[in-house]
Amino acid sequence: MAKSSSATASASASASATKKRRSRGGTLTLDEVKALGRELLSSRAHLNHAPALLALLSPSAPLDLALEALISLQSFFVPLIPSIPSASAAAAAGDAGSDPELVFGAWLRQRFDELVAALVELSVSPHSDDAIRDVALDALMDFVKLGKDGKFQSAIYHKFLHAVVHASDSVDPLLELLGSKYFKYTDVCYFTYTSVDKIANNLGSKTTESGKDALQNGSDGSENKGAIFIHNIYNLLARVPVMDYQKDSTFEMWSTVGLSAKGEKDSSKDSSSTTHIKKKIKLKFTKAWLSFLKLPLPLDVYKEVLASIHQNVIPSMSNPAILCDFLTRSYDIGGVISVMALSGLFILMTQHGLEYPKFYEKLYALLTPAVFMAKHRSAFLQLLDTCLKSSYLPAYLAAAFAKRLSRLALSVPPAGALIIIALIHNLLRRHPSVNFLVHWEVDENDSNAKEEASQPKKIGADPFNNDEADPAKSGAMRSSLWEIDTLRHHYTPAVSRFVASLEEDLTVRAKTTEMKITDFSSGSYATVFRDEVRRRIKQVPLAFYRTTPTSLFQGSDFPGWTFEDQSSSNVGTIVEANETIETVGASDSTPSKRLRAEA
């Protein structure tokens, strides 16, 4: 007790000495900061140097002073971390105020919390220099690593991630630093998912109904803090690397114990086994993503999630079927959102037993001209080809999709027409029952078909209803692919040449092969032009006239009409500036001549 009293008295003397140093120059110099650090590390008598050094840990402080103060404080607190009491114990000791050691422990706890808060601010603040941000993050993660009994200090790490999520400015430099240095450790990823789950749940409970509507409508993130926080959560989750659960690899841990945090007790005997670690990480990963997807996502985040959910989220979830509500709700929205949700929904249907009764009706409704100009059209068209591959697909559905695609070929860009021809080629080859769309043949024994074929039909009438949402009621089974025949005269040579692939007998599967949609799905005007320019042309078309034409059309082009050269029988004088140009009419077989005369 006497020792503690003397330490307190020495600390008071040290504090007065620090004030004298500041009063001389106003601010501390680098040598003075180094002297304060050495004295702090040498004896308890200089404990009050800690607040002076803590005051230098600010983004606005000089870089050299902040770095020196940070290194000194880190060296001071690292050996004392095991003896620092918890926040509750420190509060109880402060209330008692009797035992000097307890008072010292409470003071130490308070200074340590101030240091952690300063490190978080230095790491998150956009005004911090890259050097001080790097050192501050390393010091913070060292405190996370050096918990009691070697356990992960999840409380400190949660404070840090809470500040990252609630930062109003960009945290991309910090996330890049965190991802490159620490996301390679399994326990860091594990506690990242744990903290994100808590933060997302807390953020979701505070979101008002008006805020949800604003976020769903894609309001500007600068005007809505909730949208900024959701962006930060997504950027944080996207930085965590996806773990390959198929490989039996060893897990590298940042802390000594691993996935056990301070205050947690792991009763599992096989807590360090690979299977146990994978199971725990999958569970935390699932909880974090589910909590995040419950938030009112801004439109740009919504699209990014749907674009990557089938690759980065579904394979790592403990039970991917949990995402069926999110994906079916997204698929029902329509437009680009439905196109992007198709990938994840298809995986749930084919690999996880999801039943979606109106899947093909929704897919049929997505076939619009806008799809062939969308950003993610490549993945959608490949999935469309895959969804129509099943041999159990009813004939009316195959005919409806073929007819819908052929009608779109009249209005899409040339690259889209090439994809449509390839898709119809595969459809006709896979489903021989719909080859009648190419060529109708009336069976002599079928009286109904013969009677229908003999009935007079209105010229130009197509029984197919393109506006019908239900494929079964579209009338595709009574139509034909006349639109494909019109592509023979397409203005793009590549399209008119490619139509010839449908002239083969696609019912004989041994003589034909399916076309790879990947070869056409990324096409555009640029790719069509590039391929056409690279072609080697054997014959070049030439325009040759025995006599110079005097009119746009000839009389033989339009029987009953005559096209005369009005200028052949008239002589006109045109005055241009200071010159006079006299135009003299010529015969039909000679070009007009211009004679120039001086004014």
Domain contains 399? yes
Q: Are residues 430 and 523 in the same domain?
A: yes
Distance from C-alpha of 120 to C-alpha of 156, rounded to nearest angstrom: 9
Q: Judging by DSSP bridges, how do beta strands 572-576 and 579-584 pair with one another?
A: antiparallel
Residue 69 main-chain phi, psi, to 5 deg? -65, -40
Last residue of a domain, one of 123, 146, 169: 146
Distance from C-alpha of 140 to C-alpha of 571, rounded to nearest angstrom: 95
The answer on pLDDT for 82 being more than 70 is yes
Higher pLDDT, 400 or 531: 400
pLDDT tens per residue, range 416-474: 999 999 999 999 888 888 888 887 655 555 555 455 555 555 556 789 999 999 999 99
Q: Are residues 498 and 422 in the same domain?
A: yes
Q: Are residues 75 and 89 in the same domain?
A: yes
pLDDT at 454: 55
The answer on pLDDT for 212 being more than 60 is no
Q: Are residues 136 and 155 in the same domain?
A: no
Highest-confidence segment of 215-224, 247-256, 411-420: 411-420
Domain contains 582? no
Q: Are residues 273 and 188 in contact, defined by beta-carbon separation less than 8 angstroms?
A: no
Last residue of a domain, one of 93, 122, 146: 146
Q: Look over the chain and give the mean of its residue pLDDT values, rounded to a whole number.
A: 80
The average pLDDT across 378-406 equals 91
Domain count, the chain: 3
pLDDT at 497: 86
The answer on pLDDT for 567 being more than 70 is no
Q: Are residues 96 and 185 in the same domain?
A: no
Return the number of other C-beta atoms located less than 10 Å from residue 347's C-beta. Answer: 20
Q: Are residues 156 and 193 in the same domain?
A: yes
Q: Judging by DSSP bridges, how do beta strands 579-584 and 593-597 pair with one another?
A: antiparallel
Structure-token pair, residue 68: 């020196």
The answer on pLDDT for 303 being more than 70 is yes
Q: What share of the chain is helix, strand, coil (3-state, %, to 5)?
A: 60, 5, 35
pLDDT at 505: 65
Last residue of a domain, one of 534, 562, 579: 534
At position 98, the amino acid (one-letter code) is S
* Of residues 518, 525, 524, 488, the one with CA closest to residue 503: 488
pLDDT at 458: 56
% of the chain residues with pLDDT over 70: 76
- Residue ranges making up the domain that contains 528: 387-441+463-534
